[in-house]
Structures are given as structure tokens and as C-alpha cells.
Structure 1
Amino acid sequence: MLKKILRTTLMSLLILAAAAGLSFQSVDAEPVEIDFYYGLGGYLGEVVEEFIEEFNEENPDVEVEGHTFGDYDEALQAFQSGVAAGDPPEAVMLDPTPAVEFADREITASLSDFIDEDEDADRDDYVEAFTEMTKIDGEQHAIPMFGTTQLLYYRHDLFEEEGISPDKLETWEGLGEAAAQLAAREDVEYGWMPMWDRINLMDVVYSRGGEVLSDDGTEVRLTDEAWVESWEALRQWIHEDEILGLNHGGVGWEYWYDTIDDVLEGRAAGYTGSSGDQGDLDFDKVSAAVQPGWEAHDGEPAPIAEAKYGVVPARISEEKQEAAYEWLAFFTSPEKTAEWNMKTGYLAVRHSAQEDPEFQEFLEDNPQAEVPLQQLEVASPIFIDPTGGEINQAIDDAIDAILIENVPAEEALQSAESRAQRALDVVQ
């Protein structure tokens, strides 16, 4: 009798639970929540949020919450604060240098096991130049989320009106001549605008044969002729000839978007900017071109190509790590990396993305999207600072001294080299 009563009671409870939409599985069905830090704003941030929303809809077992910051450095600082407090986000987008540094220090987890167990992941499908940089002792510590390289964007209408051939942009000497002619117009303030950004300013040096370190990695080379002459030319064009302009300062990416606005609104005839700017540009007004070389060198460009990386902290649960990997794998799937390339201009990180019919059609209809792919063929790898940022900071300070404060390039670079060499000596 007692067994019958218990059985009847249990059945009644199960019926009530079902009627209320409850089950034992409902507890297991709670999604794994992860935070994702990234330093992209404006249109790019909107696309990231679109991807997050789509991922969450397709993957009910994981819920990503995006946290945007003013730029990559702010996202990095927030990540470091989280690590120090024992409460890091489950995934963060980083520049190459901190991605490599954190892998070396085992702050970030190896993702190799997740990649090996993922039937949709093909290591050989990722662009090797991007993946090799964050491989430590054979273990993959980061997923390249997208590639980028700095291009020339110019107002083709202004060039045509002045009778200037785009071929002038094939050398820095030619760009300087074009900038002088364009700046002489009453309606144009600057003939060209470099970006207040270490990468594109190092591109100018690399295309003259310059390097940051000696071949054996023991000597800083910032006073080599390639550095001094390249940046002295920029200083003269900005401060003496007044044919180049430079936006700087502000909050986050403010200086970057101000530069884009200056070109789109006709105050400047062109600028050096990211492949990722293409989603913000009006190609009825502007065209894209590969960066120049120096005629005084060999005329061959050698601009930097780099990736932004998704990393996962080592000291979080395996469940959280797996959820974070699923998000990064979604973002970099062939279909999504192709979509990202089409929407933003940032480069797809999977070879198979170019086999996507929609992407192929897009490239045919949008010739500017081909330019960064062409530039990859002559690109240089990004410099990874062995001092944890001291050399890069010395370079940044030299940029400010030369291009903003009008300090002669040789003087500023001598100071930067001495400071960078001291930092390098400490770690050797």
C-alpha cells in the first residue's frame, strides 16, 4: 500500500513538473556564460556584436557577452586587471605582442586539444603566417581572428582633377610630389595624412630596408639610415612643407576616425589606413592602393601584415575554455571569416574562405578588397618586442617627438635607440 502511495505521489510530481515546463534536464541546459573583451568601435564593433548575436542563437549551450573598449590597449589592460584579480574574461582579442608574451608566460591556455577534437577545424586551412607566431613548443595558444595590413586610400576625383596618375603612389618620393600639388589647392588642407600609428610609420622604414634589431637580435637599429631618412622626410613634409597632416590624441580611435572624415570630406586628398577601414569608406570617392616603396632604395614596398588574436586564459575551468574556443572557432570558420572580410576589409584567416562563391563574387565587384590580398604578397612580419613593450614604447615616443613636436629624426631616434638598447640588454 505504501509503495503504491509513493509511486502515485511521484507520478503526480512529475506531471506537475512537466506542466510547469520543468525537468531535471533544465538545470543541465543552462548555457555556459562567457565574457569576450575586444577593442573595436564604430561599425567594426557593430559587426562583432552581430556575430555574437548569431552565435548565441545557433549555440544555446553557450552565451557570449561582448565588452567593447576604446582600443586594443584598453582591452589588454582590462584583461590584465582581470588576470591579476583572478577573474579574467573567458576570451579576449589581442595584438600579436601580448598574445605571444602571455603564451610564453603560460597566462593563456593551449588550444591545441580543442582544435584537434574539432571536426571542422583544419590547422592547414589557417594562414600559416598568422598561426606560427603564437605557436609555443608546438602548442597553439591563440586563434587568429582576422588579418590586417595598412593601405593607401586616395581621393581619385581630386587626383583626376589635378591630372595626377595613381602611379605616383608607387614610391614615397612620388607620393610627396603628389601631396605637394594637392595641398596647393584652396579646398585641400593636406595632400596626404599618415596615421598616428606605429605600424604604418614602421612600414615607411621597412620599405627602405630598415629593421628594428640586428640579425642576431642583440642590437637595436633605430639610428640606421633607413629610419632616420624615412622619418626625417615625414617630419619635413608635416612641419616645413606643410603638405602632410597628422591627427593625434583624443579618446580611443578618435584620431583614426577624424582622419577618415578629413579625407571623405575633402580636407585631405588621401591617407594611410587599415584594410579594416573599408567598411567605413565611400569608394565612389576613394580608391585603394598598395603602399609605396622608396625610389632611393629599390622601389619595393615591404609593409607589415599582422593578425589580431583570440586567446583564452589558462586558469579558468575547462568547461569555460571549451565554450570560449567554440566562440573563437565560430568567428574564424570559413563562412564567417569570409563574411568578416567582406563587411570590414580585414583579411580572412582561412584559405578556404576564398573558395566561397559569395566571397569570389564580392572580390569581383569590389576591386578595393583585392588590394590588401595583393599587399600580403610583399608583406613583412610584425616585430615582436622581446622586452615586453619597452622597445615599442621607445619607438612610439620617437614618433611623437618627430611628427608632433618637430624634433629632428636623428636626435629623437638616437634617444629612442639608447633607451631601447638598455631594455634589450636587460632581457638578454
Structure 2
Amino acid sequence: MFLFKKGLAFAVVLSFILLTACGTNSVQTNKTAQANETTAAAANLKPQETKEPVTIEFWYGLGGKLGENMKTLIDEFNASQKEVIVKGVVQADYSETEQKLQAAIAAGKVPAAVLSSNVEWARKGYFAPMDEMMKQYPNYNKEDFVQTFLAQGQVDGKQYFIPMYGTTQVMYYRKDLFKKYGIKAEDLKTWEDLAAAAAKMTEKSNGKTTIYGWEPMWGRDNLIDAVLSKGGRILSEDGKTVMIDSPEWVETWDLFRKWIHEDNIMRIHSGGNGWEYWYKTIDDVMKGKAAGYTGSSGDQGDLDFTQLGAMEQPGWEGIGEGKPVAGAVMAGIPAKASDEEKQAAFKWLSFFNNSKNTAFWSMKTGYIAVRQSALKDPAFITYSEQNPQSKIPLMQAAHGSEPFQDPTGGKINDALSIAADKVEIENIPAAEALKEAKEVAQKALDNMK
């Protein structure tokens, strides 16, 4: 009996152990299964949670402090989010950017964003329209843009380019030389006034000019600004006739030729690599080798306004105030970029021209803010009060001319650039240079019909 009970007890204990072991295995199995399911689920989520950011290239042709400020905003953008990494690729200038972009398009390997715009390339499908991308950003607010700038990026009713900053060419002068010769900036209402002042401030030693009264910026742009202020046109109202040999053109360009080559009261720097000629011109004024120069509103970030002042471009006697070009520098997204790259590019571009950053860019560079709300930015309000020169580009843009949209894909502008070199560098009479330019330009225009 005792043996039976003892054996029975042993059997019960053994059964309990076996049952417990089975239960433990079952629980463990369930836990293992659950763990496996969790691991599997995590594995499915992992690609989304650890998705690599999209890396894109942004090409821009900016040097000096402009380039530094662009890098500042690129770095700030990269640090502000984890979806996109922008790699800035610096070009020598705007022209080189376009030249390299043309080669990149031909090769099929393009940057995702570029500080460049070309209406004809947009028509040919080389750039992607941004209208749908804009709709994905409810707070983008197109109406907040300066509408004349926004319109410059539209081609056939679609938005191909976004304005990044506005620009116009204004006048910078040395305060000490103006004071020395009793010249007041507010009295220089016309180009005739400026030429007289330049003659007065020009200094010579042993037959050589040591201080020039003024330095226009090399190229067609300053010359065109002066022509537009005199009432000249590039094309007739119907767009069929090139008008660059009209009296307004010939008289204006020949005056600049005379001031540079005969009177020696003005000079230009030309050639060099990228913006080299531009910075040589600025350097002359900063070192007191010239009393002033005509340059971009964007030069303000490189200038010392304890020494310099700024004023608007003048008009002409009997005609009225100046009407120089006020245009937008725009960015585009090449059509051959992938869809993912396009979205990433737009995210970056929309960051650059939000209200805060366009105000920052304007304060740092002197370029015109492209969003109206930037003018209400507290920092911008304080800055403009403390730096009155920052208001000059805005004041000039209010009565400026719209940029010329070359219907020939650049052939009219190229002809004007060649003519400008003949007048400014080779001392060829304006009538001769512009007549040749018109023949080339008219032929190019006629071939478009």
C-alpha cells in the first residue's frame, strides 16, 4: 500500500512536471512566434523608417559673398530636414552655368535644380513645369510673389521658372570724391549731369588718367538700360522689326564710346574668367581709382557703405527719369531629372524663396526680395531703416523696364553683345556697330516666321 501510494505520488509529480514543461514550451513557442512576427513587421517598416535622403545637385554661377550666402542657405536647408541633401555646384557665372547645362542636357545627366532660365529651352521641353508641384504645397502662396517677377518665369501659361531674387543695375559712388568736388548725388538727374560730374572728378598725371570719373559695367546691359531710358526699343510693337539702329540707340551708344575713348572720363574692365571684370571694376572704386560705377543691386553685400553711397540710374535731358531693366534671377528644374529629384529640387527652391529667406538674401546681398511679405519681416524693416542704400533698387524697380525676352533664342542678344564690344573696346562708331548687329538680328528674327 505504501509502495502504491508512493508510486502514485511519483506519477502525479511526474505528470505535473511534464504538463508544466509542455505549457512552458507552448508559451515559449507563442512568444517566439510573436517575436518573429514583430521582427518581420519591423523588417517591413525598416526601409520606410531609414529611407536614405535624396541627394541632388544645384548649379549656380555666383562668386564672392553671393556664393558664401548661397552656401549658408544650402547648409541651413540641409540641417532643417532629413529628406533632401543639396550639393551646391559653383559655376564661374550665369553664362557658364547655361553652357554646362546645355552639355548636361545633351548627355542626359542633369542637375536637379539650376540657377538659370531660358524661355526657348522651356518651349523645347528641356525644363519641367512646376505648376503641379506648387499645388502640393498649400502654403506656397503664389500671390505673395512680386507678380512681375513671377510672370517672367511663365512660358505659354505654365510656370517653368521660380524667381529667386530681383535685380536691377544702380549707381555706386565714393562719398569722399563727391564731397571733394562739391557734387551731390541728388543733383545727378540725367546722364548729361553724370558725364559733367565724371569729367570734373577725373584726375590725370603726366597725360595718364589716374582716377576715372565713372566706370560703366562691361557689356550690353548698361548700354541697353541707357537706351531704354531714352525711349528706345529693341523690337517694334508688332515684334517684326529690329530697331537697334534707331537714333536713340546710335546717339546713346556713341556717347558712351566718346566718354570712354575720346574724353577718357570713363573706362571699362573686360574679359577675364567669370566675374573677374566685375570685381576689378568694384575694386577700382573701393581703392579710389574711380569715383563710381554702375553695377548690380546684388553688389551691396560686397561694398563698404561707410565709403560709398548708392543712387538710381539717371534719365536724359528733356525725357524724364531712367527706365533701366528690373528683372528676376530665376531657377528651373531640368526635365530629364527623375521624378524623385524634381520633388526634392522643388522642396529646396521653395525653402530658398520663402518670406524669411528672401528677406535674408535681400539684406545680405542687396538683391530685391521676390515676396511681398518679406517687406514686413521685422529684421528687414530694421535693416532698411539703418541702411538706406538698400531701398535704392526697390525704388528704381518701381519705374524700371521689363527684361527683353529674345524670341530668337538669344541671337539678338548675341548680336548686341558683339556690337557692345566693338563700341566699348574697339572704339568703333556706334552707327557702324549697330547697323551690322541689326542685319544679323533681323535675319534671325525673320527666320523665326
C-alpha displacement of 1:272: 0.2
Partners in 1 of 2:184 and 2:80 — Cα distance? 49
The DSSP-based 3-state class of the residue aligned with 2:115 is: strand
Identify if the C-alpha distance between structure 1 residues 402 and 6 changes in structure 2 by more than 3 Å, giving closer, same or farther.
farther
Structure 2 residue corresponding to 1:273, chosen from 283, 295, 302: 295
Which residue of the partner structure matches residue 8 of structure 2? none
2: CA distance, partners of 1:198 / 1:54? 36
Query: Paired residue for 2:108?
Result: 86
Q: Which of 334, 342, 356 is 1:321 aligned to?
A: 342
Note the 1:28-427 alignment, pairs <5 A: 28-95=50-117, 98=118, 100-184=119-203, 188-295=210-317, 297-427=318-448
Give the number of aligned pairs. 422
Deviation, structure 1 residue 169: 2.4
Secondary structure of 2:259 counterpart:
helix
| Residue type of the alignment partner of 1:8 | T
Query: Offset at 1:101?
Result: 1.7
Letter in 2 for 1:158: L
CA deviation vs aligned residue, 1:16-63 (integer Å, no higher than 9, x gap): x99xxx971467521011110011011101111110000001121100
Q: Which amino acid is the alignment partner of residue 313 of structure 1? A: P
Cα drift, residue 6 of structure 1? 10
Larger radius of gyration: 2
TM-score (norm 1): 0.94
What is the TM-score with the length of structure 2 in the denominator?
0.89
Whether the 8 Å CA contact 1:188–1:266 is kept in 2: the answer is no
Partner SS state of residue 173, structure 1:
helix
Quick one: structure 1 residues 396 and 109, their matched pair in 2 at CA, closer, same or farther if it must change by over 3 Å?
same
What percent identity do the matched residue pairs reach? 47
Tell me how far 1:165 sits from its aligned partner.
Answer: 1.9
Between the aligned partners of 2:154 and 2:407, the Cα distance in structure 1 is: 16
Taking only aligned residues, the RMSD between alpha carbons, in angstroms, comes to: 2.3
Q: Matches of 1:255 and 1:178 in 2, distance apart?
A: 24
Post-superposition shift, 1:159? 0.6
In the TM superposition, what whole-angstrom CA distance separates every residue of 1:145-197 from its partner, at most 9, and x where no partner exists? 10100000011110111111213422100100000010036594210000013
Structure 2: tracts of 5 or more residues without a match: 1-24
Distance 1:141 1:7, change over 3 A: farther
Shift of 1:8: 3.5
Q: Look up the match of 2:32.
A: 8
Deviation of the 1:198 alpha carbon: 2.2
Cα distance in 2 between the residues matched to 1:225 and 1:3: 99
Moved more, 158-167 or 255-264: 158-167
Further displaced range: 355-364 or 197-206:
197-206
On the 8 A contact 2:219/2:421 being kept in 1, the answer is no
Mapped partners of 1:393, 1:426: distance in 2: 16
CA contact (8 A) 1:168 1:175 kept: no
Mean CA deviation greater in 303-312 or 160-169 = 160-169
Offset, 1:130: 1.1
- Whether the aligned pair in 1 keeps the contact of 2:235 and 2:241 (CA below 8 Å) is yes
Equivalents in 2 of 1:137, 1:403: separation in Å? 37
For residue 65 of structure 1, report the CA deviation from its aligned partner: 0.3
1:45 maps to a residue whose letter is G
Deviation of 1:13 after TM superposition, in Å, equals 11
In the alignment, is the contact (CA less than 8 A) between 1:110 and 1:139 conserved in 2? yes
Deviation at 1:140, TM superposition (A): 1.0
* Residues 417 and 24 of structure 1, relative CA distance in 2, 3 Å threshold: same
